[in-house]
Amino acid sequence: MRILIGGDDRMTVVDGSGDVAARSVQDYIDETPYWADGTIAPSSPMTAMQWRIWFLASAGKFFEGMVVFITGVALPLIVSEFNLGAMEKGTISAATLFGILIGATVLGGLADHYGRKKMFIVELVLFVTCLVALVFSPSYIFLVTFLFGMGLALGCDYPTAHMVISESIASNDRGRLVLSAFAFQAVGALVGTAVGYLILYKSPDISAWRYMYGAAIIPAVLVVAGRFYIPDSSHWLVSKGRIAEAEAELRKLLQREPHYPKVIKIAPPVQSGNRSEKDGSKGSYLDLFNGKNIRATVLASVPWFLQDLGTYGIGIFTPTILGSVLGAKAVYARNVADLIYNDMLAAKGAAFIDVLLLVGIIAAVFLADKVGRITLQIVGFIGCAVGLFLASMSITVDSNSAMSITLLFSGFMLFSFMTNLGPNAITYLLAGEVFPTRIRGKGAGFAASFAKIGAVATAFLFPVLLKDFGTGPILIFLVGCSVLGAIITWLFRIETSGVNLEEM
C-alpha cells in the first residue's frame, strides 16, 4: 500500500466492512509513500530505529574484524610471553575460528527459539565477558578458553546480525544494507591492525597484546547497552503466532515523522502445505534437508565452504607477497626489539591486505541489489579462479624474476578483490535470505558452520599438504574449488534480490 503525503488526509486500505485491512509485516516495511499529485517516492524512507538497528549490527561485525586481526598482531607477543611451542601457537590461532564454527550453529540457531533481539544481546554479553577475561589471562589454557568463547559469540553473530537487519529493512534495500554492515568486518580489521601497530609503537613491551584487546572493551559495552533498546523482529513474532506483540514491535520500528502508518494490523501467516507458520513450531535442523529446503541449504553452505577453502588457502602465500612489497624483516628475533619490529612490519602488511578487502566489499554493496546475488557470486568465483591461476603460473618461471613476482602479486590482488565482490560477501548475504523465518537462524548458522569446517581444515592441513605436494598443486586445487563454487551456485541458484522475505 502507498500512503498519501503532502496533505492532512491520508489514504488507508480498508476491507469491504470498512475496517483496516490486515497486511503482512514486510508489506508495512516495504510501504512506499507518494505525493498528492501521484509522484511516487523512489524508496521507503528509513526510520531512526532502522538506522539504529543497522548501526548496532554493524558494530558487531566491526568488533569481529578488530579482535580477529588483533590476534594476528598479538600472537608473536603471546607466544613469547608464555613460551609456547608450535602446537600451542596453532591452537591459539585456531581457537576463535573453531569457536565461530560451533557458535554459528549452536547459538545462532537459538535465535529461532528465543528471538532475534535476545540472542543479539546475549552474544555480545558473552563476547565482552570473554574479552575482559582474555586481557587478564594468566596462562595458556585460559587464553585458549576465552578465545574460543569469543569465537562462540562471533559465530552466533553471523546469522543473528544478518536477521536483525534483513527482517527490519525494506526488500529493495536489504542487500546493500546487510553487505554494508558486513563491510565493517574489514573496517574493524583495519582499525584492529592500526590499534596493534600504535600500541606497539607507544608501548614496545611483551605485554602490549593485553592493551590491544583491552581497547575494544569500552566500545563493546556501549553497544551491548544500545541493543537493549531495539524492537524484536516482527517477522519472528508472527512465526510464533504472537501477532499482538508483532504489531507493537512494528510500531516501534516504523515510528517516523510524519507518522505513518497510523494503524498497524498484521495478517495471520498463510497456510503452507500441512504446516502454518503460526503453529509456533520450533523447526529443527532436519527441516534444512527436506525436499523444500535442501536447495537453499546446498546454495547457502557448499559455495561458502569452497570460498573459505580459497580464502584461507591463499593466506598461506601472503607472507611471500608481503615480503616482496614491504621488504625484509629480521629472520630471527634475537631480542624483544626484533620481535616488536617484526610484529609492527606484520601489522603494516595486514593493514595493506585489509584495504584490498574493503574495495571489493564496497563494490558488492553497490551492485548486489542491481546486478543480483547469483550473478555476482558466479562472476566472483570465476575471478577468484583466474587470480589463483595467475598465482600458480608464477612458480613456472624463475622465482626471483620480476615476472614471477608480478604474476604472484597480480593473482593475489585479483583474488582479494573478486572474492569480496562475489563469494565472500554474497555467501553471507544469501545464507540469511533463502530460508523461511522459522528456521532462518538455523539455516544461516548451519551454512556459516559448514563454511568454517573448510577454514579450520585449511588452517590445519594446508601447511602439511604444502610441504608434501608443493605450491603448484595446492594452487591448482584452489582453482578447482573456485570453479566448482561457480557451478554449484548456478545449479542451485535462488535469486533473492528485492524479493520479499515472506516469499522465501
Give CA angle at 445 (443, 450), nearest 5°: 95
**Residue 188, CA atoms < 13 Å, CB-side half-sphere:** 26
* CB-CB contact of 337 with 176 (8 Å): no
Span 318-352, pLDDT tens digits: 554 555 444 444 443 344 444 444 444 454 555 55
Q: Which helix (H) or strand (E) holds 179?
A: helix 174-202
CA–chain centroid gap for 199, Å, is 27
Span 114-169, pLDDT tens digits: 999 999 999 999 999 999 999 999 999 999 999 999 999 999 999 999 999 999 99
What is the pLDDT at residue 73? 75
Residue 275, helix vs strand vs coil: strand
Instruction: Work out the number of other CB atoms within 10 angstroms of the CB of residue 447.
Output: 33
Asked if residue 417 has pLDDT above 60, the reply is yes
Q: Which residue ranges make up each domain of the chain? A: 1-45, 48-232+287-324+334-499
**Low-confidence winner among 282-286, 412-416, 494-498 (lowest mean pLDDT):** 282-286
Span 445-473, pLDDT tens digits: 999 999 988 877 776 676 677 677 777 78
Query: Sign (positive/negative) of CA torsion 150, 153, 155, 157?
Result: negative
Residue with the three cell numbers 602439511? 464
Q: Residue 327: left if φ>0, alpha if ψ -120 to 50, beta else—which one?
A: left
Instruction: Work out the number of other CB atoms within 10 angstroms of the CB of residue 372.
Output: 18
* CB-CB contact of 460 with 94 (8 Å): yes
**Mean pLDDT over all residues of the chain?**
81
Q: Which of 100, 25, 105 is nearest to 60 (CA)?
A: 100
What is the pLDDT at residue 385? 94
Taking the C-alpha atoms of residue 161 and residue 1, their distance in angstroms, rounded to an integer, is 28
Span 13-49, pLDDT tens digits: 444 444 667 888 888 888 877 766 666 666 677 899 9
Q: Between 308 and 186, whose confidence is greater?
A: 308
Question: Looking at the chain, how many residues does it have?
Answer: 504
What is the pLDDT at residue 271? 54
Residue 5, helix vs strand vs coil: strand
Residue 273 exposed, middle or buried by CB count within 10 Å (0-12, 13-18, 19+) = exposed
pTM score, whole prediction:
0.82
Q: Which of 202, 212, 124, 113 is nearest to 161 (CA)?
A: 124
What does DSSP say about strands 34-35 and 271-272: parallel, antiparallel, or unpaired? unpaired
CATH C-level class of 48-232+287-324+334-499: mainly alpha
